[in-house]
Structure 1
Amino acid sequence: MYSKPPASNKPAITFGTPVEPVQVRLQKAMALHQSGQLAQAKTLYEGILATQPRNADALSLLAIVATQTRDYPLALETINKAIKINPANAGYYLNRGAAQKELRMLTEAVASFDKAIALKPDYAEAYSNRGIVQKELKQIDAAIASLDRAIALKPGHAEAYWNKSNALLISGDYERGWPLYEWRWKLNDPNFVPRNYTQPLWLGLESVQGKTVYLYGEQGLGDTLQLCRYAKLVKDLGARVVMEVPLPLKSLLQRIDGVDEWVLTGTPPPTFDYHCPLVSLPLALKTTLSTIPGQEPYLHSNELLRAQWSQHLGPRTVPRVGLVWSGNPVQLNDHNRSIPLERLLAYLPPGLEYVSLQKDPREADRATLSACATVRHLGDDFKNYDDTAAVCALMDVVVSVCTSVAHLSAGLGCTTWVLLAYNSDWRWLHDRTDSPWYPSAQLYRQATPGDWSEPMSRLQNDLVKLAGQFPGATPV
C-alpha cells in the first residue's frame, strides 16, 4: 500500500563512527528498514529529525515505518510534514493515502492518490492503491478502471490483478473473478505461499476420475469452514479425496461428506495425483452465484456434545443468543471487523440469555466480561470447534462479526446474524442482507465506513422482536 524505502546500495557502515553525515545515517536507517528491523530504523530516522526536522526523506520514511507498525495517526502527521516541505514528491502522496485508508479517511485517500497521479501520470502504484480504496467505497467500476490502468502501466502487477479479482468477486462476477484470484500466489505475502509439490495443481482442466486429489486450506479457519463443502463435488467427479485438516477442526470436519482420508496439518500427505487449495475449488468447479454448492447444513455438530452442553447451560427460559465480537487481532483488517464488547453490550436488549462463544477475549473485553452479569462466557471452556458447534446448535441465534464462528454457525444451518464492516470480504458480496453461501445468515452492514451504530441498532430491533416471540414473553 505504501511506497517502500529504496534499497540501499552503499556499503555497510560500522556503528560508532564519531560524527556521521546525515546521508550516511539515512542510508544506514534504510538498510535496517529494508531488512525488517523497524524499531531500529525508526530510532535512526527520529535521530536524524532531531537535528534536521525538515529532512523530508527522513519524515517520509518514518511515516512508512509508522504505517507498517499500524501507528496510522503518526504516519499521517509525519507524511503531512514531508509534503509541506516538498509538495512535488508523488511518493509522499502515495504514503499519505495509505495512512488515510487505514484511518477510514477513504475519500481523502482517493484525493491523495489522485494528487500522486497528477504529479506522476505513469505511477502504477498510485493507480493500484486508488483502486483498492475505490473498492472499499463500493465504487466498483471506478476501482476496476484504476486497477486496469495499473496493470497497463505495469504488466504483471500481481497486487493489481489480485485486488481486481476481489472487486469482481464482491460484485458477484465470479466468472471473471475466480481466474484472477489465482494471482495471489505471485504476491509477496506470507499468507499466500504456494506449496511446491511435484504433482500438478488441479484447477478443473484434467479428469480426476480414478485419481487421488489432495485438498488443503491456505488462509484461515473460516475459509476452510466455508469451502470444505466442495470436497463432495470433487468426490462426485470420481476422485478419491484426501483432505488436510488443522487440529482445531479435525473432529468437526470428519463428519462432512466426500472425504476418503484425513491428514492432520503438519504431517506429510499420502501419495496423490493432483492437489488443490480449497480457495481454488470454486474456480476448478466453475462456481457462479447460481451454482454455489453445499446447501445447509453441510456441517454437523456432535450429538453427545450437544447433550453435555445443554446440561451445562441448564433450562432454557428465554431465547439464547450466542455472541462473537472479535476475530484474530493479527489479521490486517481486524481493526475494521471487530467490535469492543463494551460497545456491543450497549445494543443488547433485556429479555434474552446471552452466551459468549468468544475464544481468547482481549484484555479489555475480558475485564468487561468479568464486570458483566448479563453475558455468560463459555468460550474459554471450548477445547475445539466441535464444542463451539455444539453450543451454536443450542442457540436461537448466533451473532458474530466476520470470523470463523460466523462460517461455522451458518454452515451448521443455525440462524446466524453477521455484523459486517462497510467494505466486507468478497464472500459477503455488496449491499445484500442475505448470503447465497449461507441461507440461514442475515447480514448487518455498516452504512458508513467505521460506524457500527446503524447496523447495531437494526440488530437491537431484531433482538427485541426475538425476545417478544418467546412463549410467556413480556414486552421489552
Structure 2
Amino acid sequence: MQPRSRPREDGPPRGGHRKLRPRPRVARGPCRGACEPGQCFGRLGTPRSRGRQFRPRACDGASLARLARREEALASYERALSIRPDMAEAEFGRGIVFRDQTRFEEAVRCFDRAIELNRTDAVRGLFHSHRAEALNLLGRFPEAFADVRRCLEVAPNDDQVLYAVSLIELLHGRWREAWPKYERRIALNVGIPEGFSPPPWPPWRGERLEHELLVLRGEQGLGDHVLFSCFAAHLAKLGHRIALWTKPSLEPLLRTVPGVERVVSDIAALEDSTGLRWTSMMSVPGILGTMPETVPRNGPFLAADPDRVAAWRQRLGNHGFKIGIAWQNAGASHLDKLRSVPLREFASLTDIAGVRLISLQKGRGVEEIETVGFGERIETLGDDFDAGGGAFLDSAAAMMNLDLIVTPDNAIAHLAGALGRPTFVALMHVPEWRWLLDRDDSPWYPATRLFRQSSASDWLGVFARITDVVRGRALQAN
C-alpha cells in the first residue's frame, strides 16, 4: 500500500517488516529447491528417457516466473505441456503467471485444468485456493466461495490455503470466520523477514494487563503500520500501556498516536523495561473479535507536527480549493498496477473553477506529470518534500492545509484517513480487503469516502463521480 517508490527498509535489526510472498507448502522434488514450491515437476515420475530432457524445462518455468520473465515462463510451461499434456503442476504454473499478469480469466482456465488433472488432496486444496482468489477478483463471488468450501474440505489445516481463504472472507465482511485463518500468515512469514526471531516475552492473547507494557509489532506495508496503529490508540484508551515496534522511518509519525508510551524500531531500546508482553499489530483485531461495525472510532489517531503545519500553510497559501493528489501505488504485488490510477484520469478536476492540484506523489509516477496536457496545473512540492526526518512528516503537515485529498488505495489514503482529513479514495472493482465491498464509507476512517469502479478498469466512471462531488464542494468553499 505504498504510494511512492521509497527504498525498502530492512527495518529493526531483530524484526524487520519486509513483506514476503507466501510460499506454498508442497513437497520438493529432485530439483532440490531450484523451482518454486508447488511448481516442482521433477517428482512426477516421468519415464527416465523423457525425464532427462524434460525436468530442466519444467523447473525453468518456475525459475523464470520468479525472475518476472513471464512470457519466457509461459513458453517453458507450454513446452512442458507439449511433452506431458496431463501435467497438473505445469497448468498450475501457467495459472500463476497469468495471475501475476492480471489475466485472471486465463488463470482460472489453467486452474480448472490443474484441478481436473490433480489427484492429491493437499495440492488440490492449494489449486482451489488460487482459483478462488482469481474468481473473487473477477467478481464471480458465488463461484469463489464454492472453491473456498472445497479447499477447506480437502486441505482444512494447510497454512497457505487458510491464509488465502481469510483474505476473501475479510473482503466480504466475514471477519469472525476470517481472523483465525488470517493468523496463518505468520507461519508463512508474510511480512516477516528471513531470520526473524520472536522476542523473549510472553505473547499477549487478549487478557487484561495490570502494569505490563504491551508491545505491538508493526508488519507489512507502510499503510498497514498506519492503519493498524488505530488499535494502539484504542488499547491505550482502554487502560493498557502500549509501545509500538515499527520501521525506523515511521518512528516520528507514530509517536503522535494518542496514549502510546514508547515507539521503537529496535527492541533493544526496551531492555530497561520489565513486564513486557507482545503481539503483532495486525493480530489485534482478531484478538479483540473486531467486526466491521465495531472498528474503534476514536477520531483522528495521528497528528502532524504543528511547526511543519505552519510552515506549509505559509508555503501553500490560502487561495483556491486545494486538492492533494496521488496516483501510483509503489508496492510489489501483482495487483498494484490495478490499484494505481493513470494521472490522465485526474484531468476533469482541472475544469472546475478555483481548483488547485497539489502533488503528494513521490518516486515512481512523477514522470507522468510531463506526459499529461494539464501537467503545468500540477503543483509539486520540491525535492526536499518528505526527504528527511521521517516518512510522511511533510505529507501529513501539507494535508492539514488541503481542502481534500484524492488518491487510490495506497499509504497516502491511510495517512489522510488517520489524520481525519477529507479524502476520496478511488478503488478498483474488487479492492483490497481493508475497503470491503458495497459501501462508500470506510469503517476505519470516518472522513473518507470511497469511489468504486463499476466494472474492471472503469476509472472514467470513478472520476466522473468524483468530479461531480468536488465541483459542489469547490463552489460551496468559494
Fold shared, TM-score > 0.5 on shorter chain:
yes
Tell me if structure 2 keeps the 8 A contact 1:413–1:440: yes
1:422 to 412, 422, 429: 429
Q: TM-score, normalised by structure 2?
A: 0.81
The aligned residue for residue 70 of structure 1 is 68
Structure 1 residue aligned with 2:144: 143
Larger relative contact order, structure 1 or 2 (CA cutoff 8 Å, min sep 6): 2
Q: Tell me, yes or no, if the aligned pair for 1:166 and 1:177 is still in contact at 8 Å.
A: yes
Which whole-Å CA distance do the structure 2 matches of 1:192 and 1:140 have between them?
33
Within 1, Cα distance between the matches of 2:347 and 2:58? 41
Paired with 2:234 and 2:473, the residues of 1 have a C-alpha distance of: 37
1:447 pairs with 451, 454, 457, which one?
A: 454
SS at match of 2:278: strand
Instruction: Provide, for residues 359-379 of structure 1, a one-character-per-residue CA deviation record: whole Å limited to 9, x for no partner.
Output: 223473365489921111126
* RMSD (Å) for aligned C-alpha atoms: 3.1
Distance 2:151 2:193 in 1: 21
Aligned to 2:295: 292
8 Å Cα contact 1:360-1:379 kept in structure 2 = no
**Which aligned pairs between 1:70-89 and structure 2 lie closer than 5 A?**
70-89=68-87
Name the residue aligned to 2:19: none
In terms of mean alpha carbon deviation, does 144-153 or 175-184 score higher? Answer: 144-153
Partner of 1:153: 154
Asked if structure 2 preserves the Cα contact closer than 8 Å seen for 1:235 and 1:258, the reply is yes
Q: Which residue of 2 aligns with 1:117?
A: 115
Letter in 1 for 2:332: V
Q: Which residue identity is paired with 1:309? A: W
Is 2:286 aligned against 1:283?
yes
Partner in structure 2 of residue 357 of structure 1: 360
State how far apart, in whole Å, the 1-side matches of 2:477 and 2:234 are. Answer: 40
2:221 aligned residue: 220
Whole-angstrom distance in 2 between the partners of 1:80 and 1:324 = 40
Structure 2 counterpart of 1:258 = 259
Cα distance in 2 for partners of 1:247, 1:232 equals: 20
Q: Aligned residues: percent identity?
A: 28
* Mapping for residues 369-380 of structure 1, pairs under 5 Å: 372-378=375-381, 380=383
Greater than 6 Å deviation, 4+ residue runs: 1-6
1:314 aligns with 2:317: yes
Higher radius of gyration, 1 or 2: 1
Against the structure 1 CA distance between its residues 425 and 267, is the aligned structure 2 distance closer, same or farther, given a 3 Å change threshold?
farther
Partner of 2:183: 182
2:464 to 457, 465, 471: 457
| 8 Å contact from structure 1 (residues 359, 379) kept in 2 | no
Aligned residues: 432
Task: Could you tell me which runs of 5 or more consecutive residues in structure 1 were left unpaired when the two chains were aligned.
Answer: 10-29, 37-51, 472-476
**Change over 3 Å in CA distance of 1:307–1:238 after alignment to 2:** closer
- Going from structure 1 to structure 2, the CA distance change for 1:305 and 1:145 (only over 3 Å counts) comes to same
CA positional deviation for 1:6: 8.1
Task: Write the deviation string for residues 395-441 of structure 1: whole angstroms up to 9, x where unpaired.
Answer: 11101121111111011111111122223211100232211111111
1:21 match? none
Show the counterpart of 2:404.
397
Residue of structure 1 equivalent to 2:128 = 127
How do 1:154-173 residues align onto structure 2 when only pairs under 5 Å count? 154-173=155-174
Kept in 1, the 8 Å contact 2:330–2:364? The answer is: no
Corresponding position of 1:301: 304
Provide the secondary structure at the position in 2 that maps to 1:207.
Answer: coil
Q: 1:62 and 1:453, CA in 2 relative to 1: closer, same or farther beyond 3 A?
A: farther
Q: In structure 2, how many angstroms separate the alpha carbons of the residues matched to 1:80 and 1:398?
A: 46
- 1:392/1:398 contact within 8 Å kept: yes
